Amino acid sequence: MFHALASALAATEIGQKLALTAAVAADWRADSLDWQDSTPVTLACGRPLKPELVPHRQVLQRSAKSPEGRARLLHAIVHIEFSAINLALDHAARFRGMPKQYYADWIGVAAEEAYHFTILRERLQSLGHDYGDFPAHAGLWNMAERTSGDVLARMALVPRLLEARGLDATPPIQRKLEQAGDTESARLLDIILHDEIGHVGLGDAWFRRLCGERRLDAEHTYRDLLTTYGAPWPQAPFNEAARLAAGFSAAELAALAHPD
């Protein structure tokens, strides 16, 4: 299993990465992957030559009022979904000795992220652009690298922090798209939002389980990790309904919205 995951993660050509991710998911469903294999593998994240990766502040603002602005906005989301494929593959490939369900969860997420990438890329292509046409940033993967030594920190600071920001950002983006008349793109984001609640929820569940195993208070540990890693503090206003569905408590959301 770990060799198959590493191969999918390392693939640089988009079609190959999608095909290998689908193959891993199919082999898992067929129960033909050995999740207890101890053979070491080298993990490297493969990406196509484009898009050019630049610092976050150098990515142009993406107004939905113009056709190019909508394309840039969609491109940014397509890039997030491509990064999310790699993140889920890495979650599963990097951390050995986890329960079988852990691998089932993240292999399933990788397949769903590949689907999200595909439908949003097709929408972007219908607007006359393709993935790679505009610069993007690598914020999600940078945090994955920083948390590569601890699965608890990974669950906290990638799905539960950075990916959870998408729960907050998606409804305002949908409103902008709808105001610009792009109801089709807004509709696709309904699919993304529904599934991402589940993905963040998996990160939350595994984070809380790992905290329990280490006898740590989950919500205090989460805030401590934000500080320890210099991670961006979650910014209100939150999509409270989505975050509550993903496992955050009302008390935690209040504490994050009004830090001491």
- The share of the chain scoring above pLDDT 70, in percent, equals 97
- Residue 140: pLDDT band with limits 50, 70, 90: confident
Residue identified by tokens 């993240």 is 106
CA gyration radius, the chain: 18
Tokens of 56: 């976050």
Please say if the pLDDT value at position 8 is more than 90: yes
Write down the mean pLDDT value for the chain.
95
- Residue 63: pLDDT band with limits 50, 70, 90: confident
CA proximity to 128, closest of 70, 54, 197, 194 = 70
pTM of the entire predicted model: 0.95
**What are the boundaries of each domain within the chain?**
2-257
Question: What are the angstrom distances between the C-alpha of 26 and each of 11, 71, 115?
Answer: 18, 33, 14
Residue 58 is predicted with a pLDDT of 65
Q: Would you say 126 and 181 are in contact if contact means Cβ atoms under 8 Å apart? A: no
Residue 259 is predicted with a pLDDT of 82
Residue 122 is predicted with a pLDDT of 98
Mean pLDDT of 152-181: 96
The Cα–Cα gap between 4 and 32 comes to 11
Residue identified by tokens 């998996």 is 202
Q: Would you say 18 and 115 are in contact if contact means Cβ atoms under 8 Å apart? A: no
The Cα–Cα gap between 188 and 170 comes to 11
Considering the domain 2-257, what is its CATH architecture? Up-down Bundle (1.20)
Residue 55 is predicted with a pLDDT of 78
Question: What are the angstrom distances between the C-alpha of 34 and each of 38, 46, 101, 103, 189?
Answer: 9, 23, 13, 11, 35
Mean pLDDT of 132-150: 91
> 190-205 pLDDT, tens per residue?
999 999 999 999 999 9
Mean pLDDT of 36-60: 88
Please say if the pLDDT value at position 82 is more than 80: yes
DSSP state of 232: P
Residue 126 is predicted with a pLDDT of 96
Question: What are the angstrom distances between the C-alpha of 109 and each of 74, 104, 254?
Answer: 21, 9, 29
φ and ψ at residue 2, rounded to 5 degrees: -70, -35
Residue 131 is predicted with a pLDDT of 97
Of the two residues 56 and 229, the one the predictor is more confident about is 229
Residue 61 is predicted with a pLDDT of 67
Query: At a CB cut-off of 8 Å and minimum separation 6, what does 137 contact?
Result: 53, 54, 55, 56, 58, 59
Please say if the pLDDT value at position 62 is more than 90: no
